[in-house]
Amino acid sequence: MEEDGEEEVEEYLFKVVIIGDSAVGKSNLLSRYARNEFNLHSKATIGVEFQTQSMDIDGKDVKAQIWDTAGQERFRAVTSAYYRGAFGALLVYDISRRSTFHSVSRWLQELNTHSDTTIAKMLVGNKCDLANIREVSVEEGKALAEAEGLFFMETSALDSTNVKTAFEIVIKEIYNNVSRKIL
């Protein structure tokens, strides 16, 4: 029976985690996506933080609860609680710092240890506005993503390039994975 003509909108809530070396731009990617803000000087806030962001997919209200390590990785490995229940992950490196690209395999290993291997994963080469001091080519990023079965995108939290697209691809993939299992 319909209740007073109110339409029921199906709701989904998925957890997404952002991982990667310190200072690759994780916090800024999240603040750019969730609040359209960018901070030139990163805050050394310790403790996990998340933001919830909604998007409409096929008339459904799909909410992503996106977690940021907020500096935990500076001191030790990110705790397993951080990964618990995640349906998607963004693995971020900085295209102007090769060492952060080398770390991706370690982050991927950690992610695979603590989460379901079927979760939606994207490799994100951030700071693509710094092309003049680039240390990792687009081709290298693509090749690693292909080898590991990840989506790939270069982004800039500074000038907004691909930030929304990167998050939305991951969230849509999660939605598709979940609906396929339901059907």
Contacts with ligand GDP, residue ranges (CB under 6 A)? 22-28, 39-42, 126-127, 129-130, 156-158
Tokens 């997919």 correspond to 57
**Closest separation between CB of residue 127 and ligand GDP, Å?**
4
Nearest CB to ligand GDP, comparing residues 36 and 176: 36
How far is it, in rounded angstroms, from Cα 16 to Cα 182? 20
CB of 88 to ligand GDP, least distance (A): 18
C-beta of 97 vs 121, nearer to ligand GDP? 97
Q: One-letter amino acid identity for 160?
A: S
Classify the C-alpha dihedral 59-176-181-111 as positive or negative.
negative
Q: Minimum Å distance from CB 1 to ligand GDP?
A: 49
CB of 57 vs ligand GDP, minimal distance in Å:
26
Question: What ranges in the chain are assigned the alpha helix state H?
Answer: 26-35, 80-83, 98-102, 104-114, 138-148, 163-182
Cβ closest to ligand GDP, residue 129 vs residue 140 = 129
Instruction: Write the CB contacts of 118 (distance below 8 Å, at least 6 apart in sequence).
Output: 177
Of 57 and 158, CB closest to ligand GDP:
158
